[in-house]
Amino acid sequence: MENIIEINKLDKKYGKSDLALDSFSITVKKGDIYGFVGENGAGKTTLIRILTGMAFPTAYEKAEMFGIDLRTSAATELIRISALIESPALYRNLNAYSNMLVRCKLLGYGKERIKAILDRLNLPTSDKDGKKARSYSLGMKQRLAIALALLPEADLYLLDEPINALDPEGILLVRNIISELRLNGKTILISSHILGELSKIATCYGFIHRGKMLEQIDANTINSKLLKNTAFSLSGTQAVIDSMRNAGITNCELRGNDLVFYGNLSLSSVIHVLDNIGVEVYGVNTSSPDLESYYFDLVRKNAGGAM
Amino acid sequence: MKNLLGADLLELRKNLLAKIMLIALVVLALFSVVLYFFIPKLLNTTDSLGDFELPQYNGELVTFAALSTGNNAGLLIPIAVLIFVAACFSNNTIRYKIASGRSRIKVFYGTIITASIYGTVLLVAFYIATFALSIIVLGYGSALNAQAIGRLFLALLIGVLLFIQNIALGTALCMVCHKLVLPLIITIVYSMGIGLVGSALYASTNATLINTMEYVSGYASAKLVLGDFDAALLLKTAISTIVFVAIVTIPCALAFRKQDIV
């Protein structure tokens, strides 16, 4: 399958600060819904800025989009991409229709699709609407930003936190739109902190931490690998983690008064340690595997210890 | 480029702030004309000027004075233009221009052109409003014949060129700084400063200096405002505008081409 984005060992540094992207690699195949997961400041938005021509890489071994090197690709290639980057980019003194109209003019499009897109996102469709974008709620601004991102007939959609500030109806709508785009042969890269939502649509994932790609994995593989959580509710938490470490048990962390284990655990070893330190167990809970625990586990392994 | 300019001008057309600015300039024109009418009368009836008597301004002088780059509309127009230009960075809508398939250089010069058009429209509106109101309030002062109309038109052309220099400076700085305040301060300080220098040098009688200074916007502006201009000044102003805009914009365009926009 054709690779839409192929990047190998890309560095990006802003001024004299640390590397925002550090020997970063990513491969996105055509038709993927690529879930891009990472903490705040991990480098997700930096990558999207580089791909949309808003920023330039410092150095790289390979960086291609649509098979063309980023250095040599013409600005005209950028019209194959549509992006929603961080906070909504809106013409604040114009209404929704006029926002779309200006973007249409910029792209050389006719205005035929404007009303249909606005209507789909439950936004005012009238050119005469007196309410300007600056007075929209956060949710409406986000919807308008999504509408603007959907206007171009792009091959690649880069959506940075697309469901921020959206109500449940809006979230479902975005999910459906993304699925339809994929059915139409488009490729979508979504960065989101709402991992539960991402897990419903992504076909593959990339986990980024402090500018480095930790792992790229397809959805089928991750679903088979997701670890079972076992949570012990404790009477006290003094020295619990240290005692576990001393006993060679490292796949655990404290969450309040719960001691949570990821993956396999030796129940007898755990109970033995807890007995020794005089902590009582009030309850034991196992929970379904999820993307969030997989991500935390990945970051923890990368950091070499418990978070 | 056509769509780039079209989108910017469409945004301007639909922007209420742009319309408010037009109205504000007409009000400023009225205010200025009224001031020109009343102030000499007021001051001449007091002893504050001693034996000196202020001239009674006429429509011709007041209309030319409207083209001053150092005060009134000369400061308000660059402010309005730079607010519009800087908005694409504060709104992040600059992304759409960059993602529209055009090179950074085209985006840069497209913005310079839009800013110049916007500034010119505002200046022409202010000029016409001042002319019309001053005729009514002050009278033209001399015969309003074809020659006078020609001079008014010539003055406007020179004034537009001088304004474009300031607008290009401010816009280029905005595009590189991605902000409003610093470019605005620099533009206003430059505008007022070069105007003061030009006015101060206007009194010189050195022919060589005069010939050279006519290529400097502040001096040309002083001549224009005092009605001391001809077609030769238009040519010199056109040359100086091309050179000034090139000097200011080329380094900024090259910087913009390589900048991260965050």
Residue-wise DSSP of B3-14: HHHHHHHHHHHH
Model confidence pLDDT, tens digit, residues B136-156: 888 888 778 888 899 999 999
More confident residue, B210 or A211: A211
Distance, CA of B251 to CA of B228 (rounded, Å): 34
Distance, CA of A250 to CA of A238 (rounded, Å): 16
* Nearest CB neighbour to B262, from listed A55, A89, A94: A55
* Nearest CB neighbour to A106, from listed B87, B91, B96: B96
Does A114 reside within a domain? no
Q: What is the CATH number of the domain that holds A264?
A: 3.30.70.100
Closest Cα in chain A, distance from residue B97 (Å): 7
pLDDT score, position A17: 80
Distance, CA of A48 to CA of A251 (rounded, Å): 33
Q: Are the Cβ atoms of B10 and A103 closer than 8 angstroms?
A: no
More confident residue, B118 or A273: B118
Q: Are the Cβ atoms of B6 and A79 closer than 8 angstroms?
A: no
Cβ B4 vs Cβ B106: under 8 Å = yes
Arithmetic mean of pLDDT, A268-286: 86
- Identity of the amino acid at B18: A
Q: In this predicted structure, which of A56-70, A166-180, A243-257, B179-193 has the lowest mean pLDDT?
A: A243-257
pLDDT band at B87 (very low <50, low <70, confident <90, very high): very high
User: Where does a domain end: A194, A224, A254?
Assistant: A224
Does A121 reside within a domain? no
Range(s) of the domain holding residue A254? 228-288
pLDDT score of A279 more than 70: yes
Element (H, E) at A289: none
pLDDT score, position A32: 94
pLDDT band at B239 (very low <50, low <70, confident <90, very high): very high
User: Where does a domain end: A178, A209, A224?
Assistant: A224
Local structure of residue A108 (DSSP, 8 states) = T
pLDDT score of A225 more than 80: no
pLDDT band at A306 (very low <50, low <70, confident <90, very high): very low
Does A195 reside within a domain? yes
A23 token code pair: 């020997």
Q: What percent of chain B has pLDDT over 90?
A: 57
Q: Does one domain contain both A14 and A66?
A: yes
Q: In this predicted structure, which of A167-181, A226-240, A271-285, B129-143 has the lowest mean pLDDT?
A: A226-240
Q: What percent of chain A has pLDDT over 90?
A: 53
B4 token code pair: 């780039």
Please list, in sequence order, all residues whose beta carbon lies within 8 angstroms of the beta carbon of residue A241, skipping any fewer than 6 positions away.
A252, A253, A254, A306
Q: Does one domain contain both A152 and A277?
A: no
Distance, CA of B129 to CA of B28 (rounded, Å): 9
Cβ A247 vs Cβ A77: under 8 Å = no
Arithmetic mean of pLDDT, A117-121: 94
Does A32 reside within a domain? yes
Does A97 reside within a domain? no
Q: Does one domain contain both A143 and A255?
A: no
Looking at the structure of chain A, the number of domains it has is 2
pLDDT score of B55 more than 70: no
* Nearest CB neighbour to B99, from listed A78, A87, A102: A78
Domain segments of chain B as ranges: 2-258
Model confidence pLDDT, tens digit, residues B213-231: 888 888 888 888 888 888 9
pLDDT score of A8 more than 90: yes
Q: Are the Cβ atoms of B104 and A75 closer than 8 angstroms?
A: yes
Arithmetic mean of pLDDT, A173-192: 94
pLDDT score, position B168: 97
Local structure of residue B55 (DSSP, 8 states) = P
Closest Cα in chain A, distance from residue B99 (Å): 5
| A204-209: strand order across its sheet | A81-84, A156-160, A187-191, A33-38, A204-209, A212-218
Cβ B112 vs Cβ B3: under 8 Å = no
pLDDT band at A305 (very low <50, low <70, confident <90, very high): very low
Q: How many CB atoms lie within 10 A of CB A209?
A: 18
Cβ A171 vs Cβ A163: under 8 Å = yes
| A62-65: strand order across its sheet | A19-29, A3-13, A62-65, A68-69
Measuring CA to CA, how many Å separate B66 from each of A211, B28, B31, B113, B185? Answer: 56, 10, 12, 23, 21
pLDDT score, position A105: 92
Q: Are the Cβ atoms of A91 and B97 closer than 8 angstroms?
A: no
Mean pLDDT of chain B: 89
The complex's ipTM?
0.86
Arithmetic mean of pLDDT, A270-280: 86
Does A303 reside within a domain? no
Q: Are the Cβ atoms of B91 and A89 closer than 8 angstroms?
A: yes
pLDDT score, position A27: 96
pLDDT band at A259 (very low <50, low <70, confident <90, very high): confident
Cβ A214 vs Cβ A298: under 8 Å = yes
CA atoms within 13 A on the CB side of B57: 28
Provide the greatest CA pair distance for chain B: 67
* Nearest CB neighbour to B103, from listed A75, A85, A94: A75
Residue A294 gets the label, from left (phi > 0), alpha (psi -120 to 50) or beta, of alpha
pLDDT score of A90 more than 90: yes
pLDDT band at B52 (very low <50, low <70, confident <90, very high): low
pLDDT band at A307 (very low <50, low <70, confident <90, very high): very low
